[in-house]
Amino acid sequence: MKLLLISLQSNAYITGLKYVAASAMANGHEVKILYLPGYLEKDLDRVIEDFLRKYRPDLIGISLMSIEYYPAKNLTRLLKARFRARVIWGGVHAVIRPEECIQYADYVCTGEGERVIVSLLDYLQHADKSELPEIPGLWVNTGTEIIRNPLAEPNPDLDSLPVQQYLPDYFYVLHNGKILDFSDNEKLFRMYALYGGTCHMIISTRGCPFKCAYCGNSAFIHVYGRKVRERSVDSVLDEIREVIKNSFVLYMNFQDDCFFTHSIEWVREFSERYKKEVNLPFIVRVIPTMIDQEKITLLKKAGMCWVVMGVQSGCDRVNYEIYDRRIKFESVKNASDIIAATGAAAFYEMIVDNPYETEEDRMETIHAISTLKKPFVTSLAHLTFFPGTALADRAVAEGVTEPDAYLYRYLLNIDDTYQNRLLSITSIIPSWLVRLLNKPEKERSGVHELFLNIFYFLAKRLVEPGVFFFTTARSLNYRIDWLYRTVAGNGKATLSRLISRYLAKGDLDYDSKLKAARKEMPELFEK
């Protein structure tokens, strides 16, 4: 059977889709991935139509985050008008809003896709089509009724799944009116890939031990449970050994919610073998209360260079009462000290634009961040009320947000406010200057605004790049050759901009596309 998987993301980081593709191929099916970044056209491009007619897929899969809901709805409409192939939706939005998705797709995958997609392809190939597929984790739209098969049990054995490739030879992109194979155009892939394609995005665990009120993970617990599942060290290294055959790969970027959920025994084995068998810098994520001195020391010796940590707020009231995140800022500060002592580069994630925060809460956050040990980089994200989360339910019930507001705005498109601008540079200006500028609105004057604008401009243009290069160089043990390759590999976008904004410019530009589409195709946005 022929499977076409389509990604609508604004960057070519599609780890989940590549794992699904690898699973289908390992089970004897033919696969192509088509990358259509932010596709929101009224008509189906002729080159897309020609591509599909030549390939003739039996099943078309569309992967979508919530922000890609309307593009997915539009593309499905265009595909169904010209082709008879069945369409299945999967990904984050399909898991949290299957009732919404099944109105437009023939099938919806309500959990992990690797086994579901194989079972559906096998059904389409062999089964009696008069019988509906009884596949756990799959909803079916017959045209007259919706069949809701039960949830599939999460796969307990992640090692049983085939590994993804860094740049598979079946990965295509629509670029300047042509559909091109990324494997034949690696420079083009680097242009679309996050961090210029220098990082391989890999997952060694699935799940998160926390249930924060704002986080989509809390909406997934009914599907995946609370248990964190892990791959063996052998499985992780098998994938990495294949990936590093491409000499352009400089880093391993572990996307686990918290890499430190691995046991100390796992970390010891991984660190020893990674250093011997791979010996490339790598990036991990950590929850402040789960950082461990022995683990982080082992990982740093093995090549860990960047540590990404969610701080969210420097105000304990906000973390406890609003986010249901039982982490005091004291724990963040302790974790920050441990990270700084290793020499690893620190990247701290913050949530802003929270309507439940007071001005005093935001001032407390700014002050708290100014007390963390430097150097470090921060990233600010707009508070998005994802459906199925406790905070979204509260906000909708209280009229703080519209039920579908999360569909229209990327989380990095933050409000341009005085306090957001100050927070964004708090890590790269002196603490005394932060104290000088961190005033409530009633005490601020035009001089404060003027000084902030001046320092913001200088910090972003001059200081932040220097901080980034210094922290990166130190984390790489001052390997200038590696720092040069890192900068060169990121092409036209500076690393400072990419790291500080985290998702790259294409994500922010996509907001503009959505706004334009709402004017040009209002019927697409009707309920």
E strand or H helix at 509: helix 505-520
Residue 504 binned pLDDT confidence (cut-offs 50, 70, 90)? very low
Question: 146 with 254, same domain?
Answer: no
pLDDT tens sequence across 50-88: 999 999 999 999 999 998 999 999 999 999 999 988 999
Estimate to the nearest angstrom the gap between the alpha carbon of 230 and the chain centroid. 19
**What residue has token string 């665990």?**
205
Within this chain, do residues 106 and 214 fall inside the same structural domain, yes or no?
A: no
One domain for residues 139 and 279: no
Residue 416 has pLDDT above 70, yes or no: yes
Among the candidates 138, 159, 180, a domain finishes at 159
The letter for the amino acid at 429 is: I
Quote the pLDDT of residue 54: 97
Is residue 500 over pLDDT 50?
no
Least confident of 92-96, 183-187, 470-474, 493-497: 493-497
DSSP label of 320: I
495 and 447: one domain? yes
Q: In percent, how much of the chain has pLDDT > 90?
A: 75
- How does pLDDT run across 21-58, given as a tens digit for each residue? 999 999 999 999 999 988 999 999 999 999 999 999 99
Q: What integer pLDDT is reported at residue 458 of this predicted model?
A: 93
Asked whether residue 465 falls in the same domain as residue 333, the answer is yes
Euclidean distance between CA atoms 361 and 369, whole angstroms: 12
Are 399 and 506 in a shared domain? Answer: yes
Residue 509, pLDDT above cutoff 80:
no
Most distant pair of Cα atoms in the chain: their distance: 75
Where is pLDDT greater, at 487 or 340?
Answer: 340
Q: Identify whether residues 213 and 106 lie together within a single domain.
A: no
* Of 124-133, 243-252, 447-456, the least confident: 124-133
pLDDT band at 488 (very low <50, low <70, confident <90, very high): low
Same domain, 279 and 344: yes
Domain that holds residue 287: 193-511
Phi-psi region of 417 (alpha: psi -120 to 50; beta: other; left: phi over 0): beta
Query: Tokens 């248990």 label which residue?
Result: 227
Q: Which of 210, 184, 116, 100 is nearest to 154 (CA)?
A: 116
Grouping H, G, I as helix, E, B as strand and the rest as coil, residue 392 is: helix
Same domain, 33 and 100: yes
More confident residue, 464 or 395: 395
Give Cβ neighbours of residue 266 (< 8 Å, ≥ 6 apart): 230, 233
> Looking at residues 123-133, what average pLDDT do you find?
79
| CB contact burial 454-469 (16+ within 10 A = b; e otherwise) | ebbeebbeebbbebbb
CATH number assigned to the domain comprising residue 44: 3.40.50.280
The predicted pLDDT at position 470 comes to 84
Model pLDDT, residue 508: 60
Query: What was the pLDDT predicted at 472?
Result: 82
* Number of folded domains that form the chain: 2
Q: 502-518: buried (b, 16+ CB within 10 Å) or exposed (e) per residue?
A: bbbebbbebbebbeebe
Together in a domain, 204 and 341: yes
% of the chain beyond a pLDDT of 70:
95
- The phi and psi torsions of 246 (rounded to 5 degrees) equal -85, 115
For helices 329-342 and 293-302, what crossing angle results, to 10°? 40
Supply the pLDDT for residue 81.
93
Spatial CB neighbours of 425, under 8 Å, sequence gap ≥ 6:
455, 456, 459, 460, 463, 464
If one compares 511 and 366, the residue with the highest pLDDT of the two is 366
Q: Is 359 a member of any domain?
A: yes
Q: How far apart are CA 239 and CA 236, in angstroms?
A: 5
User: Residue range 474-495: average pLDDT?
Assistant: 67
Least Cα distance to 455 among 501, 413, 423 occurs for 423
Residue 402 lies in a domain: yes
pLDDT of residue 475: 85
Beta carbons of 203 and 235 less than 8 angstroms apart:
no
Q: Is a pLDDT exceeding 90 seen at residue 474? A: no
Phi/psi for 7 (5° steps) reads -110, 135
Is residue 517 in some structural domain? no
Phi and psi torsions of 379, nearest 5°: -130, 130
DSSP 441: G
- Please say if the pLDDT value at position 484 is more than 80: no
Higher pLDDT, 274 or 510: 274
Q: What is the pLDDT of residue 221?
A: 81
pLDDT, position 497 = 40
Q: Which residue has the higher pLDDT, 218 or 154?
A: 154
Residue 525: pLDDT above 60? Answer: yes
